[in-house]
Structure 1
Amino acid sequence: MITLKQVLDILKQDNNFRSINSQENYSWNWKENPTFSKLSYDSRQTDSQTLFFAKGQQFKKAFLTQAVQNGLTFYISEIDYGVDIPVILVNCVKQAMSLVAMAFYDNPQEKLKLLAFTGTKGKTTAAYFAYSILSQEFPTAMLSTMNTTLDGKTFFKSTLSTPESLDLMRMMAEAVQNGMTHLVMEVSSQAYLVKRVYGLIFDVGVFLNISPDHIGPIEHPTFEDYFYHKRQLLANSRAVVINSQMMHFELIKEQVENQDYDFYGANSDNQIINSQAFSFELRGKLTGSYDCQLLGEFNQENALAAGLACLRLRASQAAIQTGIAKAHVPGRMEVLTQTNGAKVFVDYAHNQDSLTKLIQVVKAYQKGKIILILGAPGNKGESRRADFAQVINDYSDLIVILTADDPNFEDPLAICQEIAKPITRAVDMIIDREEAIKQALSLTTGEEDAVIIAGKGADAFQIVKGERMAYAGDLALAKKYR
């Protein structure tokens, strides 16, 4: 529950309030202080008890008109749409929604220890490591690209890496109600760009890495803008954990010099000193030996980052070792063996850096022919297409099959042709992803061979024309045709 006066006080304190406008034919006693028992940004889910937020570039007056017919009495907006109810005009509706949601849900962020991960790649893997570690000793919730749990028992598929602020506060409140004391979450650059986490302060923020990605018409206009919004997690965290090997580390190091911090990686106090296939040794604050189910030193680095962050949240060394050993991440470096002995690697790698590292790991273990299945999403991250071509050119011995990967409103064949254009050798194009996987697996002949299925990980859908269409999933199809 929240009153109009409380809402106005919040907006004024944030210097976000402009005015309340009311149409002349709407009778309302300005001395009243109405109470709202619901918040919503979906006009289809409104009634007389709802405070509504009119947000988004695609928002139309018709949506608001329908909400008024449903009984809506107030809305918050940057625009006066001229309907017969009062509008609370603000400079930024996204800021307003975040702060009002915090108050409406009784500030659940203050009742949880909050651990957040950002980075171009590795957020989900690191979040799963941290969740596994903290769950050894604390009731822990998690919000990730892959799955969300608010009670540590029930998991459901996420729709956004970082939920809209109103949904985020509602889920935090539910986690508190379920007895959770800690929350692990991913914070994307988009979350700061569109203010999904406005006003939140994290107990620990982790910056894993940075490389060009998410640059395009509907995402970040430039790498500088992308990097700036990534760094906002550090500015809004009480303590930070940072990869000392990342691009532009010196700039980040200067930014956090007055904060509590841990660096990890080469030339830092916390680093991997012996990396094996399923184990590694650390020196520094987490000195010791660790088992790990995920192949690749980059995954071990994610485990190290998660371990350092959890140490700041009072996790014990034993919990860190056990949590890392038990952690399993759906769709991240999942390995199957075909009946002929060849290996199949299913991984979410979806940008230049993560794809390069995935190929390097596979080539370290598989010395025969390697078949790569790859696509690129439509209407986002368009720079990836040229990046993928560069990776394919760098590894001239790969057999490459280009296929569909969430084409959305674009033609998947056109996307594949755009990837193929800069490639200096012939590649196959099989747009049906299931057929591409079937064909790739049929090309292997023995235990030295491998198939890499990159991009979708554990996603059991294809995004087509704005809708999630049923798709068996890369892992399920690999099992079907192995």
Structure 2
Amino acid sequence: MKLNQLLERIDYKVEQGSDEIEITTLINDSRRVEEGSVFVCISGAVVDGHKFVNEVVEKGAKALIVEQDVAEPEGVTVIRVEDTRYALALTSAAYFGYPAEKLKVIGITGTKGKTTTTYMIKSILEDVGHKVGLIGTIEAIIGDEKIPAANTTPESYTIHQYFARMVDAGCDSVVMEVSSQGLMLHRTAGIPFEIGIFTNLGHDHIGPNEHADFEDYKRCKGMLFKQCKLGIANVDDPYYADVFRDAVCRVETFGFDEKADLRATNTHLVSRPGYLGVAYHVSGLMDFDVEIDVPGTFSVYNSLTAIAVCHEFEVPVENIQKALKVAKVKGRIEMVKVSDEFTLMIDYAHNAMSLESLLTTLKEYKPARLVCLFGCGGNRSKDRRYEMGEVSGRLADLTIITSDNPRNEEPQAIIDDIKTGISRTDGSYVEICDRKEAIRYAIEHGQTGDVIVLAGKGHEDYQEICGVKHHMDERELIAEVLKEWKH
């Protein structure tokens, strides 16, 4: 294709050469440049693509897209733009033939709830005959193919590549998690979102390589609502008005507040051995009863979000009810049946904020005992260990401290840091370094009415030790323990 076809939706200046040239591939990784490529120089947090100009030209690049002054090698077209990340997003869309325009794109942003809600929406829409792609924290799903994720929101080139493959696979819709980082770095620039969703906002992702401060975090979340037709928002969130301050879309709201367009009323917890859930009545734009096999108030919010999307897609009530009952997300309050006496679940809670939210939710069900098994990752902040230890010591009746991803640290040293946090509370604990043995202890010592949560690994199916990822899936460990126990 011609270079100017790639550039048709952005402002640019030809600093050298011609924009009429034919190009072969669009690349932003210098290692993948080939004869005829156009190379987009991205100024990254770690690596600056402008430093690889000579290298990519030697490999055969025919055009460069830059935002800084560079030495301009002969025989190469140089295109100057204001922001190369933004340019990458719009040129990627053009390169793949604007696939987003052939899909109904649903984007979900917020601190918590994005992953669960994407799967809920996918489940319900597919139940009524839509073919739905997914891009999220755990994986991208294209037809029957599942691609493990590196980032919550991939680089823009990858997003449009996925969109194109979804179109080829017969998808009519896609639901995707949209991180504030992804918005800030223009990974989703130019995507015509049919629906944008705001779940909630917490103090997270503030730091040197993330957001400068909370105001910037809020501003970036709000960017989604400048590029969607409909914004669906949690009206109960204290930052809702801030996030939607500059929105240009039509807005519908959900929540418990009487102002919400979709309201949850008569909410009550549902509990029996091996099962925790929540039921409520939907009123406002729709009117029906719902029960979900996932505990907690946040499950009400997640399901209300999915219901709001289904309302736009005109999904019949009975289909919504049926799909919500079976919608499951691997590693997000995932119930695993092990006993008729107590409840066991797997959850990804791997920092103090998510662990506190999870344990507080589970305590609402008034278990005989709340047992929390977790470890912490190596080569990460020690504060996380102290904080998680303190949270579990304060909220759980028994903490089982074990190993997570020790990476290049001694597992026992990590456990000792967690114990420092627990020591600030009156919480009881045992320490069992081997994760399978820790799970065995939890199951064999389970008592009637207990709720046991295995926290931290969630959907992960590996354990990283000394730079090597070893296969380890908690579901398999549980199955092995049960098999050995019965023998």
TM-score relative to the length of structure 1:
0.84
- Unmatched segments (≥5 aa) in structure 2: 271-276, 483-487
Match of 2:89 in 1: 98
3-state SS in 2 of match to 1:35: coil
Aligned position for 1:479:
479
5 Å-filtered alignment, 1:257-268, equals: 259-267=250-258, 268=260
SS in 1 for 2:453: strand
Give the alignment of 1:222-301 within 5 angstroms. Answer: 222-252=213-243, 254-256=245-247, 259-267=250-258, 268-272=260-264, 273-277=266-270, 278=277, 279-301=279-301
* Preserved contact between residue 344 and residue 450 of structure 1 (Cα < 8 Å): yes
Residue matched to 1:24? none
Residue 81 of structure 1: how far off its partner (Å) = 5.4
Q: CA deviation at 1:144?
A: 1.9
How many Å separate the matches in 2 of 1:315 and 1:120?
A: 27
Matched AA of 1:37: T
SS at match of 1:242: strand
Q: Does 1:183 align with 2:178?
A: no
Shift of residue 433, structure 1, vs aligned partner: 4.2
1:120 to 98, 111, 125: 111
Cα 1:175–1:480, aligned 2, differ >3 Å: closer, same or farther? same
Does the alignment pair 1:11 with 2:40?
A: no
Is 1:138 aligned with 2:130? yes
Range with bigger deviation, 123-132 or 224-233:
224-233
**Equivalent residue for 2:20?**
33
Instruction: Judge conservation of contact 2:330–2:458 (CA < 8 Å) in 1.
Output: yes
Shift of residue 102, structure 1, vs aligned partner: 1.0
Question: Shift of the alpha carbon at 1:82?
Answer: 3.9
| Residue of structure 1 in register with 2:305 after alignment | 305
- Residue 383 of structure 1 deviates from its aligned partner by 7.3
Q: Is contact 1:148–1:158 with CA below 8 Å preserved after alignment?
A: yes
Corresponding residue SS for 2:152: coil
Is residue 407 of structure 2 the alignment partner of residue 404 of structure 1?
Answer: no
What does the per-residue CA deviation read over 1:419-458, in whole Å, with 9 as the maximum and x for residues that have no partner?
A: 554541475665654454444445x242323321122211
Decide whether aligned partners of structure 1 residues 61 and 386 sit closer, same or farther in structure 2, where only a CA change above 3 A counts: same
Is the 8 Å Cα contact of residues 141 and 150 (structure 1) preserved in structure 2?
Answer: yes
Kept after mapping to 2: 8 A contact 1:119/1:210: yes
**Alignment partner, residue 34 of structure 2:** 47
Secondary structure in 1 aligned to 2:32? coil
- Judge which range, 61-70 or 369-378, deviates more: 61-70
Q: Offset of 1:334 from its aligned partner?
A: 1.4
Greater CA drift, 467-476 or 34-43: 467-476
Q: CA deviation at 1:98?
A: 0.2
2:15 corresponds to: 20
Correspondence for 1:324: 324
Structure 1 partner of 2:208: 217
Distance 1:381 1:33 in 2: 51
Which residue identity is paired with 1:41?
Answer: N
Q: Secondary structure at the match of 2:47?
A: coil
Q: Is the 8 A contact 1:234 1:256 kept in 2?
A: yes
Q: CA deviation at 1:77?
A: 3.0
The answer to whether the Cα contact below 8 Å between 1:77 and 1:93 also exists between their aligned partners in 2 is: yes
1:377 CA drift (Å): 4.9
Q: Which residue of 1 aligns with 2:140?
A: 148
Write the letter of the residue equivalent to 2:287: T
Q: Structure 2 length as normaliser, TM-score? A: 0.84
User: CA offsets per residue over residues 256-304 of structure 1, 9 Å max, x none?
Assistant: 5973322322333422223343443222223112242323332132011
* Residue identity in the other structure for 2:299: N
Question: After the TM superposition, which of the residue ranges 166-175 and 349-358 deviates more from structure 2?
Answer: 349-358
Post-superposition offset of 1:4: 2.1
- Report the counterpart of residue 71 of structure 1 in structure 2: 60
- The answer on whether the counterparts of 2:50 and 2:68 sit within 8 Å (CA) in structure 1 is no
Does 1:458 find its partner at 2:459?
A: yes
Query: Measured at CA, do residues 11 and 301 of structure 1 come closer, stay the same or move farther in structure 2, by a change above 3 Å?
Result: closer
